[in-house]
């Protein structure tokens, strides 16, 4: 494969080159010909070149215009490849046909805001497979009570089933990042045990709670709900935010919606 052009540090680019890892990812994603597959941040095409033969059409979103000629050349200028030179944080996913399957090696510097942005399009999405900084992946999959459980985990676990699939060392990338990575699957939930009646209120509750995670849940949410109201729905007011389950945050949200 033709080497990629120089990286732009501000974009947080680390290009995957380990063929064993790439093959494992392709096997996990298991694309079908008719899938509406979208790759985010294809770079020079390490994954793209493996995905193209497996699907009838492949949409990719790449912000760095300098690397697009290399991507096109590495993919032999395939007519099946549709490149959007866009900022994915502003990309209009409604122009694509659902259900969407998303895959990508996400730049570390935008991974968290991008995940929250994708939640706004969750009804269009079938599943998501992302390479992330290991710490971010662990936060997404963290259970209540753990040190890494927080706002990101609560929000993504409400909307999706989360599965951490692979741990990947820095040597799989060029240039090698200073941190390890992980490959994760996010599958939008079709059914919820408890439905959040007001999604915006639910998001606000979670943001408020973890914005002051050292405080008790009663103190961090005192402007929104009283200690007695928390007790009415079976939540101990002196619990810390990280001790509450996703469903308990939904109960709080529904109480004040």
In sequence order, what DSSP letters do the residues of 78-117 get, joined into one string? -TTEEEE-S-GGG--GGGSPSSEEEEEE--TTTHHHHHHH
37 within 8 A of 53, measured Cβ to Cβ = no
pLDDT, residue 234, reads 97
pLDDT, residue 13, reads 64
Domains defined for the chain, CATH in brackets: 9-188 (3.40.50.150), 199-256 (1.10.8.100)
pLDDT in tens, 102-128: 999 998 889 999 999 999 999 999 999
pLDDT, residue 214, reads 86
φ/ψ (deg, to 5) at 206 = -65, -40
φ/ψ (deg, to 5) at 181 = -125, 170
HEC string of 119-165?
A: HCCHHHEEEEEEEEEHHHHHHHHCCCCCCCCCHHHHHHHHHEEEEEE
Residue 140 to residue 126: CA distance in whole angstroms: 18
pLDDT, residue 4, reads 47
pLDDT, residue 252, reads 98
Low-confidence ranges of the chain (pLDDT < 70): 1-13
pTM: 0.91
Residue 240 to residue 243: CA distance in whole angstroms: 5
């Amino acid at each position: 494969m033709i080497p990629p052009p120089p990286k732009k540090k501000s974009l947080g680019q680390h290009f995957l080159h380990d063929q064993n890892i790439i093959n494992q990812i392709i096997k996990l994603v298991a694309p079908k010909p008719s899938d509406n597959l979208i790759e985010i941040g294809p770079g020079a095409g390490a994954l793209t070149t493996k995905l193209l033969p497996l699907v009838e059409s492949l949409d990719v979103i790449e912000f760095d215009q300098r690397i697009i000629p290399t991507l096109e050349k590495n993919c032999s200028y395939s007519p099946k490849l549709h490149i959007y030179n866009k900022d994915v944080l502003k990309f209009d996913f409604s122009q694509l046909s659902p259900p969407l399957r998303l895959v990508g090696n996400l730049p570390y510097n935008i991974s968290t805001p991008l995940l929250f942005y994708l939640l706004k399009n969750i009804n269009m999405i079938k599943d998501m497979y992302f390479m992330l900084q290991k710490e971010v992946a662990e936060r997404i999959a963290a259970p209540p009570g753990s040190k890494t459980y927080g706002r990101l985990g609560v929000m993504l676990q409400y909307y999706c089933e989360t599965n951490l699939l692979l741990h990947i060392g820095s040597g799989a990338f060029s240039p090698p990042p200073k941190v390890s990575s992980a490959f994760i699957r996010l599958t939008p939930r079709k059914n919820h045990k408890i439905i959040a009646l007001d999604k915006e209120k639910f998001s606000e509750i979670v943001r408020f709670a973890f914005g002051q995670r050292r405080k008790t849940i009663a103190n961090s949410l005192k402007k929104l709900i009283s200690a007695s109201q928390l007790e009415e729905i079976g939540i101990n007011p002196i619990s810390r935010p990280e001790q509450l389950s996703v469903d308990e945050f939904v109960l709080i949200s529904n109480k004040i919606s």
